[in-house]
Amino acid sequence: MPMLTVPGAELHYESAGRASAPALLLVPAGIATLRMWDEQIDALADDHFVARYDPRGFGGTHHDESVPFANHADAVAVLDHLGIAEATVIGASRGGRITLDTALAFPDRVRGIVTVGSEPGGFPDLPLTDEEQRRFDELEAIDPAVDAALLMRREADVWAVGPLRSAASVDPEFVRRAHELNAPNAAHATDDGTMLPLEPSAYERLGDVGVPALVTVGEYDLSVILAAYDHLLAHLPNATGVRVADTAHLPSVEHPAEFTRVLLDWLGRHGL
């Protein structure tokens, strides 16, 4: 498994495609690992050099909890390691926050951005619906030091299934896949560490993002994510919005062919 050594960590990464092709960097959701992009890789690698990695605290990446770090700096370290001068950065959920931070911190390295069910860093806390609050209270009651595997399964249910659907109403193969994607993160459930946020936050600086942006969200995502989607569309200067029907927090996993089609069409229209 390819590993990149950076201060305080070994980042698990993979790459595919021709190194001379336009580059893409894929960053996973917090309920997944870089494996969440498996269904997109072949189609994207036809015309792009595709890199993906697990941030600290997820998947196959290992880190020293005593060493402070910035996720956007790690993203650029992966680009540097692979000899990528500039890339379109694509992130799901917390990966989308990393995408926005990377575009703001390193504008000369980012040609375009794609977010999937993401909030910008610094987005204000919004009240949850009663059902969302009930489900998060259930998650809070699970001690990760006692049963991290159970916590990962329940997290996947809350986010991937969504508060407006029941697991029984969703394709069981997708539910199985969502559990599978989050399971490796059980090894990091009690990880600690000091993450250095972007200052000022992306929420305060969205107008400074000068590159094209594709902002996507699932129609059944959590209320705060739907609000963040509207905010990103309203404040990113060059944004295209897509709501994906019949999915919640992982549209690229639940409807991979549709998501890939939307992504490739957007990349093509912007010459990325």
Summarize pLDDT for 167-211 with one digit per residue, the tens.
Answer: 889 999 999 999 999 999 999 988 878 999 999 999 999 999 999
CA 70 to CA 19: how far, in whole Å?
26
Residue where a domain stops, chosen among 188, 212, 228 = 188
Tell me: do 171 and 113 sit in the same domain. Answer: no
Tell me: do 163 and 42 sit in the same domain. Answer: no
Tell me: do 95 and 136 sit in the same domain. Answer: no
Tell me: do 211 and 93 sit in the same domain. Answer: yes
Alpha-carbon torsion, ordered 154, 228, 95, 20, to 10 deg: 140
C-alpha distances (whole Å) from 261 to each of 40, 44, 242, 268 are 10, 10, 12, 11
Tell me: do 71 and 30 sit in the same domain. Answer: yes
Tell me: do 142 and 121 sit in the same domain. Answer: no
Assign 181 to helix, strand or coil: helix
Amino acid, single-letter form, for residue 32: A
Tell me: do 220 and 114 sit in the same domain. Answer: yes
The residue assigned the tokens 């204000």 is: 124
Tell me: do 258 and 182 sit in the same domain. Answer: no
CATH code, domain with 236:
3.40.50.1820
Q: What is the mean pLDDT of the chain?
A: 96
In this predicted structure, what is the pLDDT of residue 42?
97
On whether the pTM is more than 0.95, the answer is yes
In this predicted structure, what is the pLDDT of residue 168?
87
Tell me: do 50 and 9 sit in the same domain. Answer: yes
Tell me: do 26 and 102 sit in the same domain. Answer: yes
In this predicted structure, what is the pLDDT of residue 127?
96
Summarize pLDDT for 1-11 with one digit per residue, the tens.
Answer: 899 999 999 99
Domains contained in the chain, number: 2
In this predicted structure, what is the pLDDT of residue 88?
98
Peptide bond just before 163 cis, omega within 30 deg: no
Tell me: do 12 and 89 sit in the same domain. Answer: yes
In this predicted structure, what is the pLDDT of residue 147?
95
The residue assigned the tokens 């062919």 is: 257
Residue 121 has which token pair? 């860093």
Residue where a domain stops, chosen among 188, 204, 237 = 188
CA 201 to CA 205: how far, in whole Å?
7
Amino acid, single-letter form, for residue 161: V
Residue ranges making up the domain that contains 44? 3-125+192-269
Q: Stretch 98-107: mean pLDDT, rounded?
A: 98
Residue where a domain stops, chosen among 188, 217, 236 = 188
In this predicted structure, what is the pLDDT of residue 192?
74
In this predicted structure, what is the pLDDT of residue 193?
81
Whether 10 and 62 have beta carbons less than 8 Å apart is answered as yes
Report the length, in residues, of the chain: 272
Whether 228 and 201 have beta carbons less than 8 Å apart is answered as no
